[in-house]
Copies of this chain bind each other. A is one copy, B any other.
Amino acid sequence: MDLLLNVTYQSLMTLLVAAGRLADHAPEFIPRITAYVEDARQRDIRITECITDAKGDRSLAPAKQSDPDAYVRVVGRRPDGVVIRGAKLHITAAAYGHDLLVMPTKSMKPGEEDYAVACAVPVGSPGVFVPAERVFLDGQYAHAAVFAHSLGLWERLGGVSFMVTQADELVGLASLIAEANGLSRVPHVREKIDEMMIHATLLRAGLEAALVHAHATPEGYYYPDDMFTNMAKYHGAANFSTMVRHLHDIAGGAVVTAPSMSDFDNPELRPLLEKYMGTGPDISGEYRSKLFHAIRDLTADALGGWHQVTNLQSGGGLFAQKLVTRKNYDIQRARTLALKAAGLSGA
């Protein structure tokens, strides 16, 4: 249930960081957010993040879709709340939480007021009617992106944190299987593991920089630095599949052909499996087969595919990371350096 704690924490931090940004133009939502967060902490509930809309045809804006519900929207307003319709996709741990935290997936424009809605919905709510005290944005299109931006940041930080540990784990698997195969001293194997170590350490440096350069909201809530978080997320996502390739290259075809562990329970098969899957007095067939299965499960099976896709897509694909980088990099400083190098400092 680590995941569920993680998305709950991210949900609350998203709300608190977003609240800080609503102060100037939509301050009426701040007390609601504060009260909701306080209540959630009191009741110790679990909250999941509902961000990605169905989206329909992505070349069209929300209000231009052939089905107006392609993005979650307000379809009715009452004195004491709103009625919403739509679908959210890819919700981590959706089935396990108490509340669904619904937020716009992107910035909105004039005419898209109905799509600028953020609110908390208990799982299983019929309707869906949301009482006012659980509505955190309703129509303020200019602020629609505040939530997605804040959530995206926490999503990406979560993604980077995960990938840092995963990268070390892949190094460990590579080291163990190389040893079990008798390949620990083969130069090309060692170099591949070196590259995996460098990758893991570089990612860790990125994560640490995101935290070392953290910023605080006026209320004193800390959030990681956008620029460092994004570039680390980008680097981890872009290179994950190459690290997996190194691991597969070292491990060999038995990653997908190793006998099932239950075959070891068969008294007729077990001696043969030990004989032919073991590689010497120190490496039993069962031990080595478990390594192959772990590598398969983590990198070359349904879960492996899930990692490949989610490492890329959590917090947006590679291009989304570039966009955030573009917005946060101090380009003016870089241009000043370049002008100086070109003898154009006074320009």
Interface mask (A310-347 → B, CB under 8 Å = 1, otherwise 0): 10110001110111011001010111111101111001
Instruction: Name A146-178 residues within 8 Å CB distance of B.
Output: 165, 168-173, 175-176
Q: Which residue of B is nearest A333, CB measured? A: B168
Contact between chains at A175 and B294 (CB < 8 Å) = no
CB within 8 A of A337: which of B169, B245, B321, B343? B169
Tallying the copies of this chain within the complex gives: 4
The secondary-structure label for the interface of chain A is helix
Residues of B with C-beta under 8 A to A287: 344, 347
Q: Which residue of B is nearest A273, CB measured? A: B87
Contact between chains at B55 and A279 (CB < 8 Å) = yes
User: At the interface with chain B, which of A11-19, A107-115, A190-198?
Assistant: A190-198
Q: Which residue of B is nearest A194, CB measured? A: B322
| Cα–Cα, bound, A282→B283 (Å) | 47
Contact between chains at B305 and A301 (CB < 8 Å) = yes
A67 within 8 A of B: yes
Contact between chains at B294 and A231 (CB < 8 Å) = no
Contact between chains at A305 and B197 (CB < 8 Å) = no
* A312 CB, nearest partner CB in chain B, Å: 5
Contact between chains at A248 and B201 (CB < 8 Å) = no
A137 within 8 A of B: no
Contact between chains at A313 and B176 (CB < 8 Å) = no
A299 within 8 A of B: yes
| Cα–Cα, bound, A121→B343 (Å) | 38
User: At the interface with chain B, which of A1-9, A125-133, A181-189?
Assistant: A181-189
Residues of B with C-beta under 8 A to A49: none
* A295 CB, nearest partner CB in chain B, Å: 8
A290 within 8 A of B: yes
Contact between chains at B173 and A326 (CB < 8 Å) = no
Contact between chains at A248 and B313 (CB < 8 Å) = yes
Contact between chains at B322 and A182 (CB < 8 Å) = no
Contact between chains at B90 and A257 (CB < 8 Å) = yes
Residues of B with C-beta under 8 A to A168: 333-334, 337
Instruction: Name A38-97 residues within 8 Å CB distance of B.
Output: 52, 54-60, 65-67, 69-70, 87, 89-90
* 7 CB < 8 A contacts A-B: A57-B181, A70-B276, A90-B254, A194-B322, A248-B309, A293-B342, A294-B342
